[in-house]
Amino acid sequence: MSAQTASGTVGKASGWSMLWGIVMLFCGMLAIIMPLATSIAVVLLLAWLILFAAVSHLIFAFHTHGIGGVLWQILLALLYGAVGVYLLMKPLLGVVSLTLVAAVFLLCEGVIELIFYFRIRHVRRAGWVLVNGIITLILGILIWAQCPASALWVIGTLVGISLIFSGVSRLMLSATIRHLSPA
């Protein structure tokens, strides 16, 4: 492969990556503008993924040897199927449930970060771990205390923020790659 071909390939790939970064940035802003719609979309996507897993367990049941394995896979398929259908039928309750899961996750993460800080507090700049733990813990408490009202914005806003940061980082990395590739 010649240097010119490699350069063209890198330029083309970084161009597509930049476009993807812009799309992610735009979708992130849209998610923050419409957090409830985004939250519902996340729950519906999750519901379909769970239903796909239910079908996978059902298919796997017929490839499993032994009655115990078959029954276990069928029970899992039924459980996944029931949860998936429930989330499709009641997406707002799914949003509330997902918000509570996020609150519990943040509470646990905050506590773990605080414990970690006390184990490494003698290390230089360990204070950042303490700050992270405190902020994460406060965020978890706020989401938990405001639930179910916080369900209207939490999931969509978090997805939006993640998409924005992913889009910006992709744009910056793509620009760097494009800049570093030979002309």
Residue 174: which pLDDT band, with cuts at 50, 70 and 90?
confident
Q: What is the DSSP letter of 174?
A: H
Cα 82 to Cα 8: distance, rounded to the nearest angstrom = 50
pLDDT at 55: 96
Token pair, residue 163, equals 């998409």
Q: Which residue has the higher pLDDT, 7 or 50?
A: 50
- DSSP assignment of 65-127: -SHHHHHHHHHHHHHHHHHHHHHHH-HHHHHHHHHHHHHHHHHHHHHHHHHHHHHHTTSTTTH
Q: Over the stretch 17-55, which tens digit does the pLDDT of each residue have?
A: 889 999 999 999 999 999 999 999 999 999 999 999 999
Cα 140 to Cα 169: distance, rounded to the nearest angstrom = 26
Residue 180: which pLDDT band, with cuts at 50, 70 and 90?
confident
In this structure, are residues 94 and 43 in contact, taking their beta carbons and an 8 Å threshold? yes
Secondary structure of residue 90 in the 3-state scheme: coil
pTM of the shown model: 0.76
Token pair, residue 106, equals 């943040």
Q: Over the stretch 49-106, which tens digit does the pLDDT of each residue have?
A: 999 999 999 999 888 888 888 899 999 999 999 999 999 999 999 999 999 999 999 9
* pLDDT at residue 7 greater than cutoff 70: no
pLDDT at 2: 54
Neighbour count for residue 97 (Cβ, 10 Å): 17
Residue 115: which pLDDT band, with cuts at 50, 70 and 90?
very high
Tell me, what amino acid is at 133?
Answer: G
